[in-house]
Structure 1
Amino acid sequence: MKSNKLNIFVLLTCSLIIVGFVFFSSGVENLVHNFNSLNFWWIAAAIGCMLLYWLLESVILHIMIKPMYKKQKFLNSVRVSMGGQYFNSITPFSSGGQPFQAYYLKKQGVQLGVAINSLLSKFIIYQVALVIVSAVLLGLRLGYFQQKVSNFALIVLVGFLINLIVMLCLIGFALFKNTTRKISRGIIRFLAKIRIFKDPDEKIAYMDGELEKFSACFKEMVKDLPTMIVSFLLSIVQLIVYMAVPYMIYKAFGLSEIDFLTIIAAQSFVMMISSFIPIPGAGVGAEGFFYFFFQQFFIKEGQLGLALILWRVITFYFTIVVGAFFAVKANKKNGPEPDSIEEDVPAGEEDIQV
């Protein structure tokens, strides 16, 4: 609970910094003028994209759980998905969503092992889809952005490589268990030697257990190839829908010079680079990279600042508000908060983590 309050405080502080910067750099009169000239049908379309994004998130989660837990209801999948969206938004590296989802699924009657298997499988598929979509968009629009954005290749390459490494590590953990175990043990012993932490044997034992579970999860996922393919295709659609939000905002300003593919490519670059900023919601970083990539599209005075605020409100703060409703309802209904998930795990499962 205390950590959540701290995260929310950090979020509010970052938000105030961004709003202050936008008002200072754009000017109130310019912001008001641009706001009054917006086509709110396109703003409604942007909000519709987020609603569709949430729906697809729930559908993907549902089809991952349903084969292993036949009693799963779609409404419960929606509740789990939206509560996870809230905790992802308010925790660093979006790390709070999966523990909440595992906790809530268990409260609904899903075995903890099934819940973790489904969530990990979904995460792997999403990460693969993100890398592939980003790679395709990067290939299609590389020349354009190299001409328009200084140091573009270096900035985007770093973000792309980070996501690629995460994807390869996830797959490598599952396919090359023994090699991964040796590398992990070497890293742990090295970190213990330079006194980053104590008890290397305990950390090695924990890591070995996690690798076993992760490998077993991946093998189960591969067995159900149709579900994996459908989830992958839906994840691609989900990503494109999310990336379309800035395009809807762009059209709301009455602009039409830049095509759809270029704008969703810019959004994919923002996602790649900002996803590993260690602040809840990638605060300041997400806004900074949006400003960096989209300043070439919103060129009139005050447009970029207003576009940034609209984008952040629709894609992030809207998610927090709606997701909080499901998270609070879950906590009231089910008792302890997600932070106490470990206390609620049955004997023999206490070492399972998400």
Structure 2
Amino acid sequence: MEKRKHIWSLLFLLVLMAFTFFLLFRQLNIQDLMDTITGFEPVFLAAGMGMVVLFLCCEAFVFRIVLKGIDHPIRRISALVYAGIDFYFSCITPSANGGQPAQAYYMTKDGVPLSKSGITILVYGMMYKAVLLLFGMFALCMVPSYVFGESTLLMVLFLFGAVCDVAVFVLCLFAIFHPDCIRRPVYFCIHILAKLRLITDKEKAMVGAEKQLLEYHEASMVCKKTPNLVIKTFCITFVQRAIQFSIGYLVFRG
């Protein structure tokens, strides 16, 4: 039965990849693409590809650090697979929203408790938002005229994005350091799903949710007691985002 599940999962992935490439190349001339690629300077092309690998390795490193800190160490290859899953599903879903749910799904399939995969993704997401804010503020200080002098729409969008990032960052902090605050929303969602008959056994769902919340609380306590873990993940995420932005620069130079 387990082998059959793996086969179906692999087939689904292959179909999804085929569909993705079909959409990509449906209105794209492959010869034009090849001409563009061959027109790149080999050094910059190789450097860009290397940066993509480093980008994935940084995310894998963060996952290993966080999961080890909450007493669920994973292998390097598993962490790299989770990073690849995030990268792939983020690329093929609108607004890059599919990466983290896919990560949580595959981590759970591999035996990582949902509470621990959740806290790992949450810590990484929080660091991601913090680093983006830092880069945004740096860009604003370096070239303020680009934001405030070029277009009113650009200024509004920049400020709106900054406010949203701060709000998400604060919510992540609350979820990690005050996990009890998410208990009511979880119970409310279960109640709504039960009303819609999407959950048949409400009591069982409540017990399961409470168990996950307790595990989540234990994991969050580890984060509070080990600030070095948060500092390490922030530094690695900072390097990762710098690598990501450098890819665009290398493509431009190439």
Provide structure 1 residue ranges, at least 5 long, that are not aligned to the other structure: 107-111, 253-354
Q: Secondary structure at the match of 2:175?
A: helix
CA 80–35 in structure 1, closer or farther in 2 if over 3 Å, else same: closer
Paired positions, count: 235
* Higher mean C-alpha deviation, range 147-156 or range 167-176: 147-156
* Higher mean C-alpha deviation, range 233-242 or range 50-59: 50-59
CA 37–187 in structure 1, closer or farther in 2 if over 3 Å, else same: closer
**Match of residue 21 from structure 1:** 27
How far apart in 1 are the matches of 2:53 and 2:169?
27
Identity across aligned pairs (percent)?
12
CA deviations over 1:182-228 (Å, ceiling 9, x no partner)? 23323332343355544333333222222221111011122112232
Q: How far apart are 1:21 and its partner, in Å?
A: 2.3
**Match of residue 16 from structure 2:** 10
**Match of residue 80 from structure 2:** 82
How far apart in 2 are the matches of 1:9 and 1:152?
42
How far apart in 2 are the matches of 1:158 and 1:194?
34
Q: How far apart are 1:231 and its partner, in Å?
A: 2.0
Give runs of aligned pairs for residues 1-354 of structure 1, distance below 5 A: 1=6, 2-23=8-29, 28=31, 31=33, 33-66=35-68, 77-89=75-87, 93-94=98-99, 95-98=101-104, 100-101=106-107, 117=116, 119-139=117-137, 140-141=139-140, 144=146, 147=150, 153-154=156-157, 157=160, 161=164, 167-252=169-254
Q: How far apart are 1:143 and its partner, in Å?
A: 5.7
Q: Secondary structure at the match of 2:234?
A: helix
Of Structure 1 and Structure 2, the greater helix share is in 2
Q: Is the 8 A contact 2:57 2:83 kept in 1?
A: no
Q: Is the 8 A contact 1:11 1:90 kept in 2?
A: no
How far apart in 1 are the matches of 2:24 and 2:156?
26
CA 122–192 in structure 1, closer or farther in 2 if over 3 Å, else same: closer
How far apart in 1 are the matches of 2:159 and 2:197?
34
Instruction: Give the TM-score taking structure 2 as reference length.
Output: 0.71
What amino acid maps onto 1:123 in structure 2?
I
Q: Secondary structure at the match of 2:75?
A: helix
CA deviations over 1:229-271 (Å, ceiling 9, x no partner)? 122211111122123212111110xxxxxxxxxxxxxxxxxxx
Q: Is the 8 A contact 2:126 2:169 kept in 1?
A: yes
What amino acid maps onto 1:214 in structure 2?
Y
Q: Is the 8 A contact 1:173 1:215 kept in 2?
A: no
How far apart in 2 are the matches of 1:39 and 1:121?
42
CA deviations over 1:158-193 (Å, ceiling 9, x no partner)? 7973x6665544433343344422233233323433
Q: Is the 8 A contact 1:83 1:97 kept in 2?
A: no
Q: How far apart are 1:10 and its partner, in Å?
A: 2.8
Q: Is the 8 A contact 1:83 1:101 kept in 2?
A: no
**Match of residue 300 from structure 1:** none
Q: How far apart are 1:51 and its partner, in Å?
A: 2.5
What amino acid maps onto 2:224 in structure 1?
V
RMSD across aligned positions (CA): 3.8
How far apart in 2 are the matches of 1:17 and 1:172?
40
Q: How far apart are 1:85 and its partner, in Å?
A: 3.0
CA 62–37 in structure 1, closer or farther in 2 if over 3 Å, else same: same
Instruction: Give the TM-score taking structure 1 as reference length.
Output: 0.53
How far apart in 2 are the matches of 1:151 and 1:6?
40
